[in-house]
Amino acid sequence: MSDKPSPLPDWLQRGIVELFPSGDGDALTLDARLHAAERKGKTLRVKLGIDPTGSDIHLGHSILFRKLRAFQDAGHTAVVIIGDFTARIGDPTGKNTTREQLSEEEVEANANTYLAQLGQGESPQNALLDFKTPGRLEVRRNSEWLAGMDLDKVIELLGTTTVGQMLAKEDFGNRYKAGMPISIHEFLYPLLQGYDSVAVKADVELGGTDQKFNIAIGRDLQRHFNQTPQFGLLMPILVGLDGVQKMSKSIGNTVGLAEDPLSMYSKLEKLPDEHVDSYVTLLSDLELDQLPLKSRERQKAMALAITASRHGLPLAKSAQKDAEQLVAGVGDLEADVLETSMAEVNFPAKAFYLVSKLGLCSSSSEARRQILGGGVRLDGDKITDPNLEFADDNILVGKVLQIGKKTFRRLTN
């Protein structure tokens, strides 16, 4: 039997933008290292860092976790590093100002929310990551090795990189040229994140295309500390629902992992045609040749597959049916819908006030505009009068209020 490594397996190759290094000047390519590990009965340690400066994970984030899960399913060890120490600095990537530093309590609360969304406590079949199978997952906090780092070690890290190298990082370089301030502590972020790779002896690090600099720093530090340098595997930045900008909560073009099946499906099926194939490749296990040829049917197949990957096929199919019923003006919904309490609403309540008070529109005037524009439905029936009055909450309990094409809430008292 030949010991020659085979090409990268399909599960690894799918969707990746770049794998570096290619092998020139390195002892092994990644496919060779995979082959050697399999022959010796060993596993690779695959690192992915979480920056817990927020509390919600959206589909854009999930691309990396899906790739990490693919490594787990192939028998390798996922090393999830919660950057509880580095989050107090804040990743400067993509920022044109110094980020506000978070407290230890804020970071820990965010980290626990992230882990819950990734599937901690759930069966592997229902979770984004496999938390249950022995040897498949390590969850580490980088405060383990960074919080107690002495000044000698910090100086050693600083000595591995020049100011010129730091300014070669696009974000720093742009800010410097524009005369925007760069705090010295921000230069520590890529060094400390890179040292994470040393601490956990990473063989592979996953990241978005905007993380190449930080991953490369990790390789340099591993060489400095006499370790075999990791491979960097870069995944694309997901375009949001608007089809223009990257998926970002601040822009409002996201689909959250925690969203109910109906909201998720309804958002996804409106995705612009030109991004359907990339969503299928990055967020589902479907092959492109399995998709229908007609663009509308491709949208629906994509939305169904991605919703099923998060909620299971039965709930995804119910969501698809419910979405069709809502368009047709039918209100008998099958799928779970996120609930919203009316406890803070004072009855009798006019329609515009109800929508605004529930937080589904930014203001009463915006609620009026939505209603007058035909964008508000109650159990599938369009509300056309902003002053339509509801005497009490009993007549609304259990009904689904729809705002636009993507927001659904089941009303509770």
Span 97-106, pLDDT tens digits = 555 667 788 8
Task: Check: pTM over 0.85? Answer yes or no.
Answer: no
Phi, psi for residue 231 in degrees, rounded to 5 = -90, 145
User: What CATH architecture applies to the domain 339-412?
Assistant: Roll (3.10)
CA distance 311 to 295: 24
The predicted structure's pLDDT at residue 3: 45
Task: Give percent above pLDDT 90 in the chain.
Answer: 51
Instruction: Express each pLDDT in 111-150 by its tens digit.
Output: 999 999 999 999 998 899 999 999 999 999 999 999 999 9
Which pair of tokens denotes residue 160?
Answer: 């591995």
Question: What's the distance, CA 211 to chain centroid?
Answer: 15
Q: Please tell me the least confidently modeled range out of 43-47, 244-248, 401-405.
A: 401-405
The predicted structure's pLDDT at residue 323: 85
Average pLDDT over residues 284-309: 94
CA distance 201 to 67: 19
Residues of the chain with CATH 3.10.290.10: 339-412
Task: Enumerate the β-bridge partners of residue 48.
Answer: 80
Helices 261-268/313-328 angle, 10° precision: 70
Residues of the chain with CATH 3.40.50.620: 10-235
Residues 6+ apart with CB under 8 A from 121: 131
What CATH fold (topology level) applies to the domain 10-235? Rossmann fold (3.40.50)
Average pLDDT over residues 253-267: 89
The predicted structure's pLDDT at residue 5: 45
Which pair of tokens denotes residue 48?
Answer: 């992915």
Rounded (5°) CA angle 392-398-402: 95
- Examine the pLDDT at 314 and tell me if it is beyond 90: yes
Average pLDDT, the chain: 87
Strand positions, DSSP E, 209-264: 231-235
Closest to 215 measured CA to CA, from 33, 81, 96:
81
Instruction: Express each pLDDT in 67-79 by its tens digit.
Output: 999 999 999 999 9
Helices 184-200/151-158 angle, 10° precision: 100
Which pair of tokens denotes residue 12?
Answer: 């690894």
The predicted structure's pLDDT at residue 92: 64
Which pair of tokens denotes residue 84?
Answer: 């509880």
Q: Please tell me the least confidently modeled range out of 35-49, 167-181, 330-344.
A: 330-344
The predicted structure's pLDDT at residue 259: 87
- Examine the pLDDT at 4 and tell me if it is beyond 50: no
Decide: helix, strand or coil at residue 338: coil
- Examine the pLDDT at 28 and tell me if it is beyond 70: no
